[in-house]
Amino acid sequence: MVGFSRSAFSLSRWILLLLLLQLLNLPLQVIAMLESHPCAPGEYWFTDFCCKSCPAGMFVQKPCTVPHTQGLCEKCHPGTFTESDNGLDDCRRCSTCDKNQEMVTDCSATSDRKCQCQTHRFYYDPESPELCRQCTKCPQGIPVLQECNSTANTVCSQSASNHRDRRFLLLPSLSVLIFAIVVYYILRR
Ligand SMILES: *[C@@H]1O[C@H](CO)[C@@H](O)[C@H](O)[C@H]1NC(C)=O
């Protein structure tokens, strides 16, 4: 019994000691964290010192050899771009327009290509932004309220009332069915 309580006591003492060590370690951890990002804004970390970034539209051809200076920057190759200051060793590849999309603005050295769904044929659906959906065609004789464009589907004037009509058609046929069932049970008795 005595031995048990003594070991319990020493266990709590160990935990306290570990917590104390952890607390002493905290400032060192903070310093290490700060030291992993020692570069000023507009600089990037290369191997063991900071270099000045290359401007948008360019990439780092050769990193600096003297800290806080700019190495060799080179203009983005055709079909690639960088939108901001960077320490990249190559520019990013321009995205391409999907087959159901048309180009809004072409790719430049400082901006990616912008695409939109082909107007009047496809529209952008926020619920599945990765693809362009085909525009709805209003049935013959139903006027178009809102033409389809790249961001919104066609709106047909009577699509809502059509929906209600179908529900009203269902009601009489349902009552006929119930009537038939009732008649069947009455005749069987
Ligand atoms: C597409 O049409 C909707 C209305 O139907 C409108 O709010 C929207 O601004 C239009 N988008 C474009 C890109 O014209």
What is the per-residue pLDDT across 64-117, written as a single tens digit (0 to 9) for each?
999 999 999 999 999 999 999 999 999 999 999 999 999 999 999 999 999 999
| Residue 144 domain-assigned (yes or no) | no
Distances 96 to 2, 103, 106, 112, 113 between C-alpha atoms, Å: 77, 9, 10, 9, 7
What is the per-residue pLDDT across 27-57, written as a single tens digit (0 to 9) for each?
666 666 656 667 999 999 998 899 999 999 9
| Residue 51 domain-assigned (yes or no) | yes
Residue 89 sits in which domain range? 36-96+107-117
Asked whether the beta carbons of 44 and 53 are under 8 A apart, the reply is yes
Atom of ligand 1 nearest to the CA of 155: 5
> Could you give the CA distance from residue 82 to residue 57 in angstroms, rounded to a whole number?
5
Q: Which of 107, 116, 63 is nearest to 83 (CA)?
A: 107
Q: What is the CATH number of the domain that holds 46?
A: 2.10.50.10
Distance (Å) from CA 146 to ligand 1 centroid: 9
Q: Into how many domains does the chain fold?
A: 1
- pLDDT classification of 176: cutoffs 50, 70, 90: confident
* pTM score: 0.60
Distance (Å) from CA 153 to ligand 1 centroid: 9
Cβ neighbours around 159 below 10 Å, total: 14
CA 167, 172, 176 angle in degrees (round to 5)? 140
